């Protein structure tokens, strides 16, 4: 099956996130009024509704909060990528309230566990968009 893998399309709101990934950094928004960390990129703080959001580079490290090993493709587009190692990563302080949905790389499915320490991996696409993936720390 020859389907083109879906790719993200940055918007004006999300562009700083994608620009950071391209330079191999993780940038997350923070509300300038209530200090809440905001992810996914938005125009208003979900806690206080302020429009005063600024971008901050963070380590991007964290722990696996939840995961799934998809042994059947989640879409025909990912037929050649099974098993898909899907995870929710809870970032380390100062933005530990942020959880990022991602895929895991360079790890066997049986080695994945809740609480496993992970670090970011920057997957540079031929289309100029870099994806944020994670691998086991260390």
pLDDT digits over 86-132, tens only?
999 999 999 999 999 999 999 999 999 999 999 999 999 999 999 99
Alpha-carbon distance 38 to 24, whole Å?
A: 20
Give this prediction's pTM: 0.93
Residue 83: cis peptide before it, omega within 30 degrees of 0:
yes
Tell me how long the chain is: 138
Q: What is the DSSP letter of 4?
A: P
3-state DSSP call for residue 118?
A: strand
């Amino acid at each position: 099956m020859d389907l083109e893998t879906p790719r993200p399309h940055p918007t004006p709101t999300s562009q700083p996130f994608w620009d950071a990934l391209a330079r191999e950094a993780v940038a997350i928004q923070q509300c300038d009024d209530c200090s809440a960390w905001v992810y996914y990129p938005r125009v208003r703080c979900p806690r206080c509704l302020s429009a005063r959001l600024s971008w901050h580079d963070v380590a991007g490290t964290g722990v696996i909060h939840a995961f799934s090993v998809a042994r059947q493709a989640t879409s025909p587009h990912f037929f050649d990528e099974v098993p898909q190692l899907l995870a929710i990563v809870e970032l380390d302080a100062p933005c530990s309230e942020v959880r990022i949905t991602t895929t895991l790389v360079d790890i066997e499915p049986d080695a994945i566990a809740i609480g496993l320490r992970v670090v970011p991996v920057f997957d540079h696409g031929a289309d100029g968009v870099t994806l944020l993936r994670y691998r086991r720390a260390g």
